[in-house]
Each structure stands twice: as C-alpha cells, then as structure tokens.
Amino acid sequence: MTTTTQASPVPSRWARFRDSYLVYSFKRDLVAQVCLATFVAMVLAAVLAPWLAPMNPYDLAQIDIMASELPPFWIDGSDPTYVLGTDAQGRDLLSTILYGARVSLIIGFGAVILQAMLGVTFGLLAGYLGGRVDAFLMRLADIQLSFSTLMVAIIVGAVIKASFGGAIYSEYAVIILVLIIGLAEWPQYARTVRASVLAERSKEYVDAARVMGFRAKRIMFRHILPNTLSPIFVISTVQIANAIISEAALSFLGLGMPETQPSLGSLIKSGFDYLQSGSWWITLIPGAVLVVLVLVINLLGDWLRDVMNPRLYKG
C-alpha cells in the first residue's frame, strides 16, 4: 500500500508548474508562444518607455512645432531623427506611442484589478451566502448589465467633466477612467465567480471547513476562492482587452485622456483630423499598435480558456 508513493520525492512548486498541463500545452502551441512573446515585448517597451523613447512627449521643451506632420522613415521627406514621423504638434510618434501604450496598459490593468476586486467579493458573497444577499447582488448586476458600459462611462465622464471642469478632469484622467471602466464591468466577474462558488460550495471540503468552525470569511477567501481561480484568470485576459478598447473608445470620443498625455485612443483621435490631408500615419500607426495589443491579449485568453476548460482537461 505504501511502497508506490514513498519512492518518488516530493516535487517542488516550480517542478509542479513545469510539469503542468499548462506548460505542456504552451510548448506545443505556436500561436500562444508568439502572442505571449509579443505581449511581453509590448508591455516591456511600454514600461521602459522613459528609457527607450528618443524623446519625452510630455516635455514641451523637446517639442519642435516646425517638425510637425513629418512622415515615417520609408516615405520621402522624412527626418531620420523621427523614425515613425511626427504628429500635428511635432511630437515624435514612436515616443508618443510608447508613452501612450503605457497609459493604455495602466488603465487596462487598473480597471481590471478594480473590477476583479469588486466582482470577486460580490460573487463570493452572493454564491456562498445565497438567499437575499444573492438576490440583491445579482439583481444589481442585472441592472448594471442592462446599460452598455460605454453609455455609463460617457454619462459619468461627462458629468464629472462638467462639474469639476476640464483642467481637473485632465489631471486625474487616469484615475477617473480606471474608476469608470472598473465600476461598469464588475458584473462579468461577479457572475462567473458566483457560478463557480455555487459548484464548489456543495463539495464536502467546504462542509469539512464549516464543521471545523471556520468563519464564513475564511471559508470564502481561503478555501473556495483558490478553487475558482481558473475562470477568474481566463476572464481577466478578456477583460483587460475590453478595458483597453473601452478606454480607446472613450478617448476617441473626447472623454478619455487629454492631448497632453495621450493614450493610444486619444492619439488615434488627434490624428483623425489629419487623415484626409495625407498624414495618415498619425492615426494608423497607433491604431495598428492598439489592434495588435488587443489581438494578442485575446488570443492568449482564448488559449487559456481552452487549456483550463475542465471539460477538455481535468486537472
């Protein structure tokens, strides 16, 4: 009885991870590898923007208005200092995209962290406590879901902008956008988490924890939550892409990041006015970066969902 398991040594956490199905499937999926590499490269480039970028687009002293609307290097009339050309204000497009991607990613991750905290807490409460708490929180989620995210964001953004003025709005734009997008999308998390909690709650290890006398908070966060992490992980990837898109859409509508500290969305918008006059690169290059960023995140999310789907693989 005891001989079989005694022989093999206890594997370390790293060895466990290395031998997991996740890593196994990653090693065999070229799309996932390319996507992860692209994603990591983009995140690194954005995080290291102050060191990588040739100039600082927030620093007005470095901007030369005479060098505005210069084309990228492969078109005649370009200036070799500005590899990807310049925008209408004479900012180096490469630097602005790097800084803009940083803003977009900060807002995307920030909003998703906020959504996850709200959604996971509400989902755990609704699923574990059940009854009236469940009914109340889920109706709240239903009401919230019946409004489109963008509509809520536009209304809230417009109200804040009107009541505090554009200057304050610009100053706190990142925080306001994180709050708006974060608050608008928590029901996605709450519903997913609630569904998994309902499945986990009926398992005997939860009863065992209750018999031990552990309090509801401990059972919810220490026992049930770790067992619902896979679906949370999967929707997080999709939600980051969604949040980045939402931010870009809001910025495009003029309710997002101001011109002085542009995100990818506001960069696209600022170039939009010059699209017809021939300076297409101001819009299209940040647009392509946004598309690639969102695409790799979504493809990674798809891959994760396939790998972590218990119906395809039971771990």
Partner 1 sequence: MTQVKARSAPQAASAQAGDTLVEIRNLEKHFPLSGDFLEQLRFKGGRLVRRQEFVHAINGVDIDVRRGESLCVVGESGCGKSTVARMVMGLLRPSGGEIRYDGERIDHLSPRQLLPYRRRMQMIFQNPYASLNPRMTIQQTLEEPLRFHHPDWKTPQVRDKVAEVMDSVGIDPEWGKRFGHEFSGGQRQRIAIARALAVDPEFIVADEPISALDVSIQAQVLNLLMDAQETHHLTYLFITHDLAVVEHFGTRVVVMYLGRVCEVAETHTLFSTPRHPYTQALLSAIPRLEDDRPDYIRLEGEVPTPVNLPSGCVFHGRCPHANDRCRREVPELIAAEGTRVACHGVEEGRL
Nearer CB in complex with partner 1: 27/203: 203
Nearer CB in complex with partner 1: 167/212: 212
SS3 assignment, position 199? helix
SS3 assignment, position 86? strand
- Assigned token pair, 237: 């990837």
Q: Is 278 in the site for partner 1 (CB under 8 A)?
A: no
Task: Give the span between the Cα atoms of 281 and 261, in whole angstroms.
Answer: 19
Nearer CB in complex with partner 1: 44/216: 216
All residues at 6 or more sequence positions from 240 whose CB lies less than 8 Å from its CB, including other chains: 108, 109, 112, 297
Per-residue interface string for the shown chain with partner 1, residues 8-27, x marking contact by CB under 8 A = --x-----------------
Footprint of partner 1 on 170-229 (CB under 8 A): 203-205, 207-215, 223, 226-227
Per-residue interface string for the shown chain with partner 1, residues 225-264, x marking contact by CB under 8 A = -xx-------------------------------------
CB of 208 to partner 1, least distance (A): 5
CB of 188 to partner 1, least distance (A): 23
Applying CB under 8 A, among 5, 146, 163, 277 the residue interacting with partner 1 is 5
DSSP letter string, 19-55: TSHHHHHHHT-HHHHHHHHHHHHHHHHHHTHHHHSSS
End-to-end CA distance of the chain: 24
SS3 assignment, position 126? helix
Nearer CB in complex with partner 1: 215/311: 215
CB of 312 to partner 1, least distance (A): 18
Task: Give the span between the Cα atoms of 26 and 22, in whole angstroms.
Answer: 6
Q: How far is CA 299 from CA 34, 245, 246, in A?
A: 10, 15, 18
Say how many residues touch partner 1, by CB under 8 A: 20
Summarize as ranges the residues that interact with partner 1 (CB under 8 A): 1-2, 5-6, 10, 203-205, 207-215, 223, 226-227
